Structure 1
Amino acid sequence: AFQWERLEEDIKKKLKDTEKTEHVLEKVKCILKTPGKLNSVKECRSHQMGDRLYSTSLRLFFNTPVLADVIFKIQGASVPAHRAVLVARCEVMAAMFNGNYLEANSVLVPVYGVSKDTFLSFLEYLYTDSCCPASILQAMSLLVCAEMYQVMRLQHICELYIITQLQSMPSRELASTSLSIVSLLKKAKFHNSDCLSTWLLHFIATNYLIFSQKPEFQDLSVEERSFVEMHRWPSNLYLKQLAEYRNYVHSQKSHCAMM
């Protein structure tokens, strides 16, 4: 805001279009609360800013070519972004764009190993600091992407989402779901999600009667199976005592006589 003239000149050179330049400048003025053409609510609304008047949220620039200086190529699609935001929010990208890597001097940056939707969700988090996965599988994919770029807070958010969703699942739904908890466990371990992998192992153990009947139970490693058997619920001791109690009750009933 203190170097407005220089910023205005840079934008004009970059866009080379008077109409687009004016549109961008007026948006930036609203965001920065800079005195200028847009000093009132009425004027900002006239430029379709609506409820976003004087908003400092970076959501305005998420997935938009406005002032974008890098384009990610993923699954044949182009996703525009802004280096300043990425560098400020992600240490891996800061090293990538500031170091001796090809990305430092390239506008087009290819992305591998994640889907377009997952990467868009990842970028949305960087711009907005919020994350709303639509499913457990989507949260796991986002967790993998977060681990890839070492964004630990996003990884913890995804862990919490998965744990919350599984905890709220009724036993009947848990027994019939096609979602493989063991596969989630394996993936969490592979991507260094210690909190989630530890919780999933306990979750399998405390729902032993459900998971022991599933084919995926056989995919547990020897070490994992040993842990589950040791911490299982209901335990063998409990089942033994329950059987003894039922036998006792049945024997008492058989000895009853009519007066």
Structure 2
Amino acid sequence: MSLRIVVCVKYVPDATGDRHFAEDLTTDRDAVDGLLSELDEYAVEQALQIADAADDAEITVLTVGPEDAKDALRKALSMGAHKAIHVEDDALHGTDVFGTSLVLAKAVEHAGFDLVVCGMASTDGTMGVLPAILAERLGVPQVTQLSEVSVADGKVTGRRDGDAASEQLEASLPAVISVTDQSGEARYPSFKGIMAAKKKPVESLDLSDLDIDEATVGLAGSWSTVDEATQRPARTAGTIVKDEGEGGKQLAEFLASQKFI
């Protein structure tokens, strides 16, 4: 039986762009170019390596987002994934991580899965908790923050590196995992891969297809909300200290005044 791998990816604003909030205090995604989250590229790469090591495997990439989010799917397909699912619905605007996890869980169940692979966090929200919430919704084990991962004999095994030690973790399939940016450099899509991606199937779903009530998602259904946002102040010229014998003392006083020491 084929190993069914689902990779959750996100279409995010380019971190090098001028990002800011819209009037409703959600991220203004129209004012800046978007792309596949860099941290999710590692998830795609690890899924491809797992598939290469398996006798038979199929990789589905899944995203929730607006029409432009298809660009993230195309990038993952050009890297080597086999097919994609795009969940798009106007009612999803402003959905928080809890609502997103519900939509992803329903879509993962729709696709069928043995292993769900996620990045360690998104580069816009940077919460890093979605894999754990998703596993809870699916009712399967989670093995997160892995820098090394393998699948064999119906189990997923991986290494989690901490500040003081490394752990070897194991879970029976089906399971959800997340991988870090230390898991291995993501491959670049080849020209052949880019051309092949154009012919790979992309299934489009909305909330009705997943039997999700609109009231549970969007801004109204979010468990968390942004009440206020203040634009980052412009950079100032800073303080210049001329060393005329008292430079060290002045530097220490400045650091102390800023509570650095």
Q: Which has the higher contact order (CA 8 A, sep 6+)?
A: 2
Structure with higher Rg: it is 1
Range class of TM-score, shorter chain:
under 0.3
So what's the TM-score if we normalise by structure 2? 0.19
* Larger strand proportion of the pair: 2
